[in-house]
Structure 1
Amino acid sequence: MEEKAIIGITTGDLNGIGLELIIKTFSDNRMLDFCTPVIFASNKVINYYRRIVPENTFSFNSTKDLTKLNPKQINVFNCWEEDVAVQPGVLTELGGKYAIRSLQVAAQCLKDGQIDAVVTAPIHKSNTHNNDFPYTGHTPFFKEKFGANDVLMLLYDQDLRVALVTEHIPVSKVASVITKELIISKVNLLKESLIKDFGIDKPKIAVMGLNPHAGDEGQIGTEEQTIIKPTIELLQQQGTLVFGPFSADAFFARASYQHFDAVLAMYHDQGLVPFKTLAQGGGVNYTAGLPVIRTSPDHGTAFDIAGKNLADESSFREAIFESIRLLKQRKNYAEYTANPMRRGKIEKERDNS
């Protein structure tokens, strides 16, 4: 029988919906058939949220030793013992402080090989971004933690996959950071992930323009003509099936994404507004380009409904399932490419593409 994956789970902001999602997801005991969950939190904060979700069958094994996990139970790895004031729906310094404590301990355990993958609940940048945590979100944190040259924020729901060239930066700064080198890096990361993580041998990628109407031949901005289109042409010459730049509004309105394996958007809202509209709460956020697996739900802390037993755990549950699938897919890919005959076939196909 195949050994179950050990999936680490972070709390997210203690006053957001993260812990409610965790309790709702694992109140279905069938989840334990697929993985051994380890929640990086404290017994006290878990018990607080158990009372908020009254109709649950959530019981857990408390531990401070990851070598003594119970594979038939939910495991809570205690990252702190002190009492923490939990105020659902309220943005507080403590809510962010302990969210980062959970994240940092889980990430170190992942780096040390004590867990197999991490699923992160949402954090809020205003109470986490500081001198001790100088990151605009999970993605840059994991990039530095695992020494990646670059990473890619990739959201997907079934066959709809949307990645971002830029992530959490002001719109006023987007144009200044769009470069040939950045686009090449993101396209290559996306291509590699589609091959290794999704099993698509020759992925077809659509690239969005930056300006309205993709610049209208230079009438509404020149980035398409001077940067994006020449970069796409260069990548095509190198054998990558990449096309564009497309006008984002028409591209999504006409469902043109159905003809591609993935879409690369230039900035956050250009990609995530249509994605979240189409995915309707079922999407998963994946950090491509890391040597490890990290997924998360495709939404934020949702302070407006926190503590009210209203949170929908669908996206969080999918993030758990996807972390397990991605582990298996990477293992299968590694075994496939380790075979010299198969590796030669792959290399020959790429040379001929």
Structure 2
Amino acid sequence: MFQKPIIGITMGDPAGIGPEVVVKAVTDKKVTQVCYPLVFGSYHIIFSSAKKFLKKAIIRKIIWPEDVRDSKDSICVLDCTKLDRTKIKTGKITKLSGKMATDSVFCATQFALSDQIDALVTAPLSKKGLRLAGYDFPGHTELLAYLTATRNYAMMFVAVHSPLSTVDCRLSTEKYKMVLVTTHLPLSEVARSISKKRILEKLTVTQKALQRHFGIKKPKIGVCALNPHCGEEGILGTEEKRIIIPAIKAAQKMGIKAYGPFSSDTIFSPKISQEFDCILAMYHDQGLIPLKMGEWGGAVNVTIGLPIIRTSPDFGTALDIAGKGKADPKGMINAILLAAQMVKKTKGKRTSSF
């Protein structure tokens, strides 16, 4: 019988909505039915958030993740920062808030690497907070790759119906998953950042993730073009001929079912997108705009290629509503449910980096 996994959840930047959505999500019945949630962060901040945003809550400080199994109906917190919480200013990112956020990520990652938690779900932190705290990473994805010594990784976005209403966590994204070749780059730098090697690496890590974490034995991956009309035989750009098509052919020789390139206005149509298990987009907005503008209720961010399972909601720190009780936990709930589903697909066993 499959044992409910322990899912580690970082509190995010305490100046933002992270603590609020975390306490709301970990007490949701859909979450507690499928996993044991364990919050990593400041016990006092989580305690204060629970008292402020929940009608009723029991908060318990624990030392070892396994203790969460004996803490029914409690919000379990592994206190992993000793910084002064009283100096945190809601709605204002500071060096202190950034350091508290990264402390929780560092701690949770170590427990994930040692198999003491089965998956990691991260609440939003701030890129500014990361920099102020002394960490030169664009975001969670790159930080986690560094902490796990992973070279080949990628951002996958899994679209979900809203709300997820079943314990088995059935997702609309059995039809729609999307991976990015490039991530947080200015548009002016995208073309020169795309290479045959990079595309091939993303196709490889995508295939392995779909097989391991989603149970798709022979995944089909549709590849986006970079230029309008796939470059129009070189008239509107040569990246398709020089880079993308050779990468697809190389992937096919490796046994990867990669197809394309397809124009963005074609591949993201409901009819065409459903022919693939995943779509590989060349840059951030190319993949995310169709996902967010479509019929989907939201998306979960998955870092594929890591030796641990990591998901996160697709929203930021939302400083403008921090501390006001207005934050919707739906995205956080979906991220936890997907992490639990991925653990079940991999039978709870951590795998090495791809």
TM range (shorter): 0.7 to 0.9
Aligned length: 334
Aligned to 2:79: 78
SS at structure 1 position matched to 2:346: helix
Give the C-alpha shift of residue 71 in structure 1.
3.9
Corresponding residue for 1:50? Answer: 50
Q: Which residue of 2 aligns with 1:340?
A: none
Amino acid at match of 2:242: T
Task: Give the aligned partner of residue 261 of structure 1.
Answer: 277
Pick from 271, 292, 302 the counterpart of residue 286 of structure 1.
Answer: 302
CA distance in 1, matches of 2:349, 2:66: 28
Listed as ranges, the matches of 1:20-35 within 5 Å are: 20-29=20-29, 31-35=31-35
Contact 1:166 1:267 in 2 (8 A): yes
Counterpart of 1:136, as a letter, is P
Tell which deviates more after alignment, 147-156 or 86-95. 86-95
Match in the other structure for 1:87: 89
What secondary structure is seen at the aligned counterpart in 2 of 1:331?
A: coil
Match of 2:206? 190
Q: SS of the counterpart of 2:298?
A: coil
Q: What one-letter code is carried by the residue in structure 1 that aligns with 2:77?
A: V
Equivalent residue, structure 2, for 1:147: 149
Deviates more, 1:195-204 or 1:302-311: 302-311
- Residue equivalent to 1:60: 59
Q: Which moved more, 1:282-291 or 1:27-36?
A: 27-36
Give the RMSD, CA atoms, in angstroms: 2.3
Alignment of 1:204-219 (within 5 A): 204-219=220-235
The alpha carbon displacement at 1:45 in A equals 0.8
Structure 2 equivalent of residue 162 of structure 1: 178
Residue number among 103, 106, 109 corresponding to 2:108 in the alignment: 106
How far has the Cα of 1:39 moved from its partner? 0.8
Asked whether the 8 Å contact 2:6–2:65 carries over to 1, the reply is no
Q: Which runs of 5+ in 2 are unaligned?
A: 160-172
Q: What is the TM-score with the length of structure 1 in the denominator?
A: 0.87
SS at match of 1:32: helix
Look up the SS of the partner of 1:126 in the other structure. helix
**Cα pair distance change 1:30/1:197, threshold 3 Å:** closer
CA separation in 1, counterparts of 2:51 and 2:347? 39
Distance 1:131 1:33, change over 3 A: closer
Query: Residue 211 of structure 1: CA displacement?
Result: 1.9
User: Are 1:271 and 2:282 matched, yes or no?
Assistant: no
**Structure 2 CA distance for partners of 1:290 and 1:188, relative to 1, 3 Å:** same
Task: Give the alignment partner of residue 202 of structure 1, picking from 218, 235, 256.
Answer: 218
Give 1:21's aligned amino acid.
Answer: V
Q: Do 1:215 and 1:224's aligned partners in 2 also have CA atoms closer than 8 Å?
A: yes
Q: CA deviation at 1:203?
A: 1.0
Distance apart, 1:278 and its partner CA = 2.5
Secondary structure at the residue paired with 1:75?
strand
1:135 aligns to what?
A: 137
What is the Cα deviation at residue 145 of structure 1? 1.7
Letter in 2 for 1:74: I
SS in 2 for 1:214: helix
Give the partner amino acid of 1:212: P
Partner of 2:162: none
% of aligned pairs identical? Answer: 40
